[in-house]
Structure 1
Amino acid sequence: MDNREARDNVASSLAAHSTTSFVRDRITWLGYFGLAFYAFLQATLGPIMPFLRAELDLNYTIAALHLSAFAVGMIAAGMSADLLAARLGRKWVFWGGAAGAMAGMIALTFGESPVMTIAAALAGGWIGSYMLVMIQAILSDHHGANRAIPLTESNVMAMLFAACAPLVVSATQQVGLGWRWTYGVGLLMFITLALVFGHAPIPENAPHDAAKSTQERAAIGKNAKLPRLFWYSFVVIFLSVSMEWTIGFWGADFLERAVGLERGTAVGLMTVYFFAMLLGRFAGSRLTRSADVSRLLVMACVLVLIGFPLFWLSPIPALNLIGLFVTGLGIANLFPLTLSVASGAAAKVAPMLANRASARVAFGAGAAILITPQISGAVADQIGISGAFAITGVIAVVTMGIVILANREAGR
C-alpha cells in the first residue's frame, strides 16, 4: 500500500467518524455487497446438493459433510483471521478471501468424488470466511458508535442474496445450462465487485487509533483481552446461529413428519421462515436508528419465545406456520444486533481488537452451524423430529437469560 492510499484510508475513516449521523459511503457499500456475495455462495450448498447427490451417488450423511466442511472452514478462519490481517493487512485478506471463496466453489463443480467436493467446500469456507471477518471488522470500525446500523443492513443484503441462491440453481437447471452455472453467476458477481470496488480504500484500524505507531497498535492488540461483555455476546451468537440453522435445516422435515404436510408443500412453506428473517432484519436495520440495541435484543428474544412454542407444539398447521413466521422475525436480529454489541465491547478496550473480535464471532457461528443441527439430527433419529426440537426450545430460553446478563454487564 502506497502513502497516498494510506492517507486516503485515514481520511475516509475520519470523515465517517466526524459526525454522529450515519452515511453509506464507498466502504459501507463494499461491505454490503461483499457480504451479499459471500452469503450467496454459502447458500448455494443446500440447493445444489440433490444434483450432486444424484451425480456422485451420495447418501445423506456424506452429502451433509459438505456443509460441515464449510463450517469447519469458518472455524479455522475465526481462529486465524486476526493474525493474518495483522501480517498482510485487511485489504489483502478481504480480496484474497473473496477470490478464495469463488475458487473453492468453482473447484467443487469439477469434483469427481466426494473427497474432492468436500475438500473444495472446506477451502471455500475457510478462505472465504476471511472476507466475512474483514467485512464485520471494517464496518464496525468505520462507523463506530453507529455500527449497529451497517451490521444489520449488511445482513439484510446477505439474507436477500441468500434467498436468491435456490432460485438461481433452479433457473440454471431448468433452462438446460445445469446447476454448475450457478457459480458462473457467482463469478460474475465477484468480477463486478472487483471492478466497482477494487480501488476502494479499506482502513486498517479505527480512525481514533490511526495516530498510533504500528508498534504501539500491535502491543495494545497483543496485550488487551476481550471483555466479559464480548464473551456474553459470543455465547448469544452461538445460540442464535444454532437456532437459525437448526430451524432452517430441519424445519421442512418437521412440517412434513410432525405437522403432517406433504413433502413438496413443507419444503415450499419454509419460505415463510426465510421471508420472516428478511423482513425482521429490514425492520431491525430501521429500528437501530432510534432504539437501544439492548432493548431490541430483548424484544427479539420475546418474539422467539412466543413464536417457537406455537410452531413446535400447535396441533393446527396454520398456527404452526404463524409460529414459524414469528420465530423467524425474532431470530433474524439476534445475530446482527449481538455482533454490534460484541464489536462495541471490543472497541472500548482497544480498537485493534476489532479483527480479533470479528474472527472469534466467525468461529462461534461456524461452530454453531457445525454442531447443533447435527446433534438435533442425531436426536431425531432416536426420538423423532418433534422431540429433537425440544433442544431448540431450551436454547431459546437460555438465550434470553444470557441476553439479560449481557445487558446488565453493558449497564455497569
Structure 2
Amino acid sequence: MPRLVRDRLTWVIYVQLSLWCYFLYGFGPVAPLLRDELHISRTLASLHGTGFAVGGIVGGAVIPALTRRYGRHRLIWGGLILVSAAAVGMFAAHHLALTLTFATLGSFGGSLLVNGVVAALTEHHGTAGPAAISEANAAAATVGLVAPLIVGLTYSAGLGWRVGLVLVVIPTALLAFFAGVRVPEPLARTGSDGRRVRGLPGTYWLAATSLFATGSVEVCLTLWGSDVLRAHAGVSAGVATAAVSTMIAGMVTGRLVGGRLLLRFRPTRMLLAALGVSAAGFALFWSATVPWPAMAGLFICGLGVGLHYPLGIGLALAHSDGQPDLAAARASFAVGISFAVAPFALGSIADQVGPHTAFLLVPAFLLLSAVVVARLERATLPPVPVRAVEPV
C-alpha cells in the first residue's frame, strides 16, 4: 500500500493552496450581497462566476508556456501574489466593472497556483499523489471553512464583507518570509513508453468532463446556495452567507476521510460513491423549508463535493500519459468553463423562475459526471483473463 510522507515542502504546498481557498470560499457566498449592494439582477451578479471562469480559462491557456519560461516555483508564488492583489483591489471596488475585474484577476492567480500545486504533489509523492492531493484539498477546505464565517461576521458586524476577505494578505506575506523551500520543477515530458508526448489520451478527456460537471456543482452551491437558504428556508442574509460554511465543513470531513480511503480503493469507484452522497445531500437541502434541515443537507452534500475535485484532478493527471503540468493546465479549461456556464445559467433561470427551481441544474450536473466516470471506470478496468477450455 502506498505511504504518504509529509515533508516541509508538502506542508508549504498545503498552506499555499489553503490561502487560495480562503479567497475562493470567502468570495463565493457574497454574490447575493453584491446584488443587494450594487442593485443588480441575479444574472449580472452571476457574472462574477463568469469572471472566475475567464481567469481560469486564460490561465489554462498560458500556464504551459509560463511554466516552461519561469518554472513551477515562480508560477505558484506569482499566482498567490495575484490572489492577494485581487483581495486588496476588491476592498476598494464598489462598481460592477471593478469587482468583475478583481474576481477575474484572483481566479487567474488561483489557476496558476493550483496547476503548479497538483502537478508538484503528483510528482513529489508518486503513487501516493492522489492521497496527497486529497489531503491538500482537505487542509485548504479547512481554511475555506473559516472564510465564509469571517466574511459573514464582518458583514453582520457592520464592517462589510471586504474586511474579512482582505485578511488573506497577512498569512501570504508571512508564508513568503518563512517558507524556506523550493517547489520542484517539472520532469521531462515523456509518455509511458518513454517517447516524447504531443497530446493527451482519450481517457483524460473523460476525467476532464467530470471536472466540468463537478465544478459546476461546487460553484453553484458556493455562489447561490446562500440565496436558496434566504428564499426557501427563511434564513437571514448574514446567517445565510456564513451558513455556506456547513457545506465546506462537510468538504473538509470528506477529504480527510477520502485521503485515507484513496490508499485502498479505486479512484473511479470512490468518485461514483461521492456523487451519490452529494445527490442525497442536495435532495435534503433542496426540499427543506426551515434552516436546520437545509444546513444538514448542505453538510451531507459537502461530504461528496469535497472529493469531487481531488478525485477528478487525480484521475486527469493519472491519465495524462506522463504530462501532469499539461494535464493540470487543460483541466483549468474544464473548471473554468464550469465557472462560466453554470452560475450564469443558474442566475438567468433564477431570474425567471426563482433560485429554488433553478437549482435543479445541480442534479443534472451530478448525473453527467456519474455517466462519464462510469465510462472511465469501464475503460480502465483490467481485462478479465480468458480461461483455456480443455478439449473433451
TM over 0.5: yes
2:221 corresponds in structure 1 to 247
Q: 1:307 aligns with which of 281, 292, 295?
A: 281
* Distance in 1 of aligned mates of 2:120 and 2:326: 12
* 1:4 paired residue number: none
Tell me which residue corresponds to 1:202.
183
Match of 1:344 among 315, 318, 322: 318
Q: Which residue of 2 aligns with 1:24?
A: 6
The offset of 1:273, in angstroms, is: 2.4
Contact 2:201–2:319 (Cα < 8 Å) also in 1: yes
Alignment identity in percent?
A: 29
Name which of 248, 253, 257 aligns with 1:283.
257
Equivalent pairs counted in the alignment come to: 379
Q: Structure 2 vs 1, CA of residues 57 and 185 (structure 1 numbering), >3 Å: closer, same or farther?
A: same
Instruction: Identify the range of structure 1 (306-315 vs 63-72) with the bigger mean alpha-carbon deviation.
Output: 306-315
Note closer, same or farther for the CA distance 1:320–1:151 as it changes in structure 2 (3 Å cut). Answer: same
Give CA-to-partner distance per residue, 1:258-292, whole Å, 9 cap, x none: 4x434456555544323222211121122223333
What is the alpha-carbon distance in structure 1 between the residues aligned to residue 314 and residue 329 of structure 2? 14
Amino acid at match of 1:336: P
Structure 2 unaligned spans of 5+: 383-392
1:230 correspondence with 2:204: yes
Task: Provide the C-alpha distance between the structure 2 equivalents of 1:307 and 1:395, rounded to a whole number of angstroms.
Answer: 14
Counterpart for residue 100 of structure 2: 118
* Residues 386 and 101 (structure 1), Cα distance of their counterparts in 2 relative to 1, 3 Å cut: closer
Give the TM-score, by structure 2 length: 0.85
Determine the structure 2 residue equivalent to 1:38. 20
CA deviation after TM superposition for structure 1 residue 319, in Å: 5.5
SS in 1 for 2:184: coil
CA shift for structure 1 position 83: 1.6
Partner Cα separation in structure 1 for residue 98 and residue 244 of structure 2: 31
Is the 8 Å Cα contact of residues 250 and 299 (structure 2) preserved in structure 1? yes
Cα distance change on mapping 1:56 and 1:301 into 2, 3 Å: closer
Contact 1:45–1:66 under 8 Å retained in 2: no
Task: Determine the structure 2 residue equivalent to 1:73.
Answer: 55
- Are the counterparts in 2 of residues 73 and 129 from structure 1 also a CA contact under 8 Å? yes
* Larger displacement relative to structure 2 (268-277 or 73-82): 268-277
Q: 1:328 to 1:83 in 2, by over 3 A?
A: same
Give the Cα separation in 1 of the matches to 2:272 and 2:344: 28
What is the RMSD computed on CA atoms of the aligned residues? 3.1
CA contact (8 A) 1:145 1:344 kept: no
- Contact 1:77–1:129 under 8 Å retained in 2: yes
On the 8 A contact 1:109/1:117 being kept in 2, the answer is no
Rounded Cα–Cα distance in structure 1 between residues aligned with 2:68 and 2:260:
34
Q: Please say which of residues 372-381 and 310-319 is displaced more in the overlay.
A: 310-319
Q: Partners in 2 of 1:67 and 1:379 — Cα distance? A: 15
Instruction: Supply the AA of the counterpart residue of 1:153.
Output: E
Shift of 1:333: 0.6
Asked if the contact 1:276/1:329 (under 8 Å) is kept, the reply is yes
- Within 1, Cα distance between the matches of 2:227 and 2:33? 19
Which residue number corresponds to residue 143 of structure 2?
161
The residue type paired with residue 251 of structure 2 is M
* Paired amino acid for 1:196: F
In terms of fraction of residues, the more helix-rich structure is 1
Pairing partner for 1:359 from 313, 319, 329: 329
Deviations 1:233-282 (A, max 9, x none): 11111111111221233333334444x43445655554432322221112
Q: How do 1:56-135 residues align onto structure 2 when only pairs under 5 Å count? A: 60-111=42-93, 113-135=95-117
What is the identity, as a one-letter code, of the residue corresponding to 2:234? L
Cα displacement (A) at 1:312: 3.3
Q: Deviations over 1:46-73 (max 9, x none)?
A: 4566776677665554444333212210
With the length of structure 1 as denominator, give the TM-score of the two structures: 0.81
> How far apart are 1:177 and its partner, in Å?
6.5
Q: Deviations over 1:194-229 (max 9, x none)?
A: 1122x41221124xx49x9xxx9xx966x4321122
Q: Give yes or no for contact 1:99–1:128 (8 Å, CA) kept in 2.
A: no
Q: Cα distance 1:201–1:268, how it changes in 2: closer, same or farther (>3 A)?
A: closer
Match of 1:398 among 343, 368, 389: 368
Shift of 1:139: 0.8
Q: 1:385 to 1:105 in 2, by over 3 A?
A: closer
Q: CA deviation at 1:84?
A: 1.0
DSSP-derived class of the 1:44 partner: helix
